[in-house]
Each structure stands twice: as structure tokens, then as C-alpha cells.
Amino acid sequence: MASEPLLDTRDLKKYFPLKRELRRERKHVRAVDGVSFTLGHRETLGIVGESGCGKSTTAKLIMRLIEPTAGQVWFDGVDVTTMSKRRFRPYRKRMQILFQDPYASLNPRMKAGAIVGEPLRNFGVPASESAARVEQLFDRIGLHRDAMRKYPHEFSGGQQQRLGIARALALEPDLIVCDEPVSALDVSIQAQKDLGISYIFVAHDLAVVQHISDRVAVMYLGRLVETGDGDRLFGQPLHPYTRALLSAVPKTTSTGESRRIVLKGDVPSPVSPPSGCHFHPRCPDATERCRQQAPELRDVGESYRVSCWLHSA
């Protein structure tokens, strides 16, 4: 048997309530609607999907930045979902998050050195120790130590992203969740992979995700539709949505006539998702069964899971 995963989410759900209309039942946005996956030690999992599929909400649920409506998050064998803030604190130290906009997540009135050192101060590392640690971190992300005295606006976008990475690395976490980091800056993350850190990489840029993920999870309207080994998922996707998604990405290596699958229409509203399989109204292969019954995420071998009636025979 495989060893205990670092992270295990079990049927995670997050429904955001909408403003109640007069004499009507209160409606909810089903942002995340039953998501289960595991993340191994030293593994990088990419979560992909289009706007509104729930991938960023999933990232925030893992970090407990928002509380789930239902379901659990297990970290290193412990259910951290309902822990008190105080008991959760040691776990918080072991998981860090990198946000989408590097500049917006850096305090403009703090110097770079203080920004990177802040988590250390927060967790009571003595100033003498933390100064040396911050210098090390600057070396590691390839910024000159002089840069510690600069303010965030004096850095380029790529360098700001690096500062965020340095801050995330400061406490030597086991897990870093990257929520839509600016694409093409993955190089600096790649360089950190040897540190024994697990990553969850939430992004809509499939090429970037392919580049850095061991395993990939594809989300659509709050649910996982396909997940497993990255090489297999990008090379031989099973779910019709994954296929359409991959074929929609414009490529510089066009091989003659492109076999693009162009989906019709927009993603339906997560307030009233379609019956059965959420993808059926846009699916070229949908049958009557898909309209009525939601397929489960089934293992089709080698821990590769897909949620589609076409692949459940």
C-alpha cells in the first residue's frame, strides 16, 4: 500500500448563499460540489478548469481561508477541518499559499526583507536567526541581498512573484498552494522542487500546468471530471470535457488541419447546475442517461479516475 498522503480532501463542498428573493427559497452558488483527491509527499498536483469551476475556492478550502459547507480536509493524517484556530496554528505553519497577483499580496509600505521575514516573526523566530534566514531566502530565489531594502514597487512582476515564493518558503512548509500564479514564472518554482515540498498548482493555463505537475485534476462546475497522472491525462484524456479543453488551446506547433473540438455555449450557472452530469448540455457524446444521472468519479486503473458514463462500462 502507498504511504499516508500529505493531503486528503473528502467530498469537499462549499455553497455560497445568495440574497434571498421574496417568498422564494434561498439559492446557493455551488462553487465546490463534492471534491475528493489526495496529494502525496513531494508531489505536485495541478488543478485546472475554466473561470467559475471552483478551483480557487478549493485552494482556499484546503488552506481553511474559508470554511467548507461539508466534507473534510485531512492533513498529514489528521482531520483539520473543524479544529480550533489555536490547534490549527501548527498546521497553518506547514501550509502556505501564493496568490494570483504578486503585487497585491505584498504590503507596499514594507521593505522586501521585512516582507519575507514576516512569517518568521509571526511564529516567534528570534530576530537574530531570522535575519540570516531571510538572506538565505534571497539567495535561493536569485535576488541580490541589497534588494532587501527595496519596496515592492521597485521590483518587476517576476521579481515580485519571487518575493512571494521566498515568503512562502520562509517557514519551510510541507505544502504550498499556488492560486493562479502568473504564468511562465513557474521556472522559479521548478527550481524549488528539490526541497521536498508538495505543491498544489491551481491554474487555467494548461501548458504551465503540464509543465510542472506530476498529477492533474480537471474541474468543471464544482466537480472533478478527471484526475490522474499528467502524462496520461494530456496524452490520452478520457472525459469529453478534458478533450475539448485540451483541443481548444492554440498551439504553435500546428500539425496541419487542427482537430479542434469547439464546445457550444457557455458554462451553465453554478446556481442551478444541469441535471445529471454537469457537462451534458455541452457534451458532444451525451446520452439520455447523462441527462438524468450524475456519473461517479470511478477508478479506471492505476489511480486514474474519470467521471463519465462513457468510461464506466
In the DSSP assignment, the letter for residue 84 is -
211 binds other proteins (CB under 8 A): yes
154 binds other proteins (CB under 8 A): no
Choice between 118 and 229, CB closer to other proteins: 229
249 binds other proteins (CB under 8 A): yes
Among 230, 240, 274, 295, binds other proteins (CB under 8 A): 230
Rounded to whole angstroms, the Cα distance separating 91 from 63 reads 10
Helices in 4-153 by DSSP H: which ranges?
A: 55-62, 85-94, 112-122, 127-140
Binding-residue total with other proteins (CB under 8 A): 39
Buried b (16+ CB within 10 A) or exposed e, 193-209: eeeebbbbbbbbbbebb
Choice between 134 and 267, CB closer to other proteins: 267
Choice between 60 and 215, CB closer to other proteins: 215
The answer to whether residues 145 and 139 touch, using CB atoms and an 8 Å cutoff, is yes
Specify the residue for cell string 461517479.
296
Q: Which stretch binds other proteins (CB under 8 A): 86-94, 162-170, 186-194, 292-300?
A: 186-194
Is the sign of the CA dihedral 91, 94, 100, 105 positive or negative?
Answer: positive
Among 82, 107, 122, 183, binds other proteins (CB under 8 A): 183
258 binds other proteins (CB under 8 A): yes
Q: Could you give the 3-state DSSP secondary structure of residue 116?
A: helix
To the nearest whole angstrom, how small is the minimum distance from the Cβ of residue 221 to other proteins?
A: 13
Q: Which of 200, 113, 197, 185 is nearest to 150 (CA)?
A: 113
Choice between 78 and 191, CB closer to other proteins: 191
Choice between 91 and 234, CB closer to other proteins: 234
Among 72, 93, 247, 300, binds other proteins (CB under 8 A): 247
Among 116, 244, 290, 306, binds other proteins (CB under 8 A): 244
Rounded to whole angstroms, the Cα distance separating 274 from 241 reads 15
Residue 202's identity, in one-letter code, is: V
Binding site for other proteins (CB under 8 A): 50-51, 156, 158, 183-184, 186-187, 190, 204-208, 210-211, 214, 230-231, 234-236, 244-254, 258, 260, 262-263, 266-267
